[in-house]
């Protein structure tokens, strides 16, 4: 066997909106790398997300470690986009007073049921 010709394919799938998913699953690159940065091993990540293949997780982590700058740029863009979307949603549906509104609704429902 000639190991000098060995290559590994990184199992990335990019969706239409630009989100990178791992190995044909719905698990995002952001999620996998976030777990790794939080100290999870490849085995722990597969335990958390059983749809993932252990070899794919190792391939992604290896790619991340060899391409830190590019992956961090992608993660930063995803974080900024997520913050932007969250802001738009919160402008449209304010979370302020949400707990109080829910408690009031529950109280009304209890009174109506009595």
pLDDT digits (tens, 9 = 90+) for 16-71: 999 999 989 999 999 999 999 999 999 999 999 999 999 999 999 999 999 999 99
Please enumerate in sequence order all residues whose Cβ is within 8 A of that of 59, keeping only pairs 6 or more positions apart, or say none. Answer: 8, 9, 10, 11
For residue 44, the enclosing domain spans 3-113
Question: The domain that contains 60 carries what CATH number?
Answer: 1.10.10.10
pTM: 0.76
pLDDT at position 104 is 94
CA nearest 108: which of 100, 57, 19? 100
Bridge partners (DSSP) of residue 14 are 20
Q: Is the predicted pLDDT of residue 114 greater than 90, yes or no?
A: no
Q: How many domains does the chain have?
A: 1
pLDDT at position 1 is 63
Residue by residue, DSSP assigns 13-68 as EE-TTS-EEETTSS-BHHHHHHHHHTT--HHHHHHH-TTS-HHHHHHHHHHHHHSH
Determine whether 44 is exposed, middle or buried from the number of CB atoms within 10 Å of its CB (0-12, 13-18, 19+): middle
């Amino acid at each position: 066997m000639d190991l000098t010709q060995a290559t590994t394919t990184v199992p990335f799938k990019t969706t239409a909106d630009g989100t990178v998913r791992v190995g044909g699953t719905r698990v995002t690159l952001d999620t996998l790398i976030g777990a790794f940065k939080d100290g999870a091993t490849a085995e722990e990540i597969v335990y958390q997300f059983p749809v993932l293949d252990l070899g794919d997780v190792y391939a992604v982590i290896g790619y991340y470690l060899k391409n830190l700058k590019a992956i961090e740029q992608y993660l930063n863009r995803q974080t900024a986009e997520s913050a932007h979307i969250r802001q738009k949603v919160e402008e449209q549906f304010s979370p302020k007073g949400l707990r109080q509104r829910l408690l009031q609704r529950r109280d009304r429902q209890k009174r109506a049921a009595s």
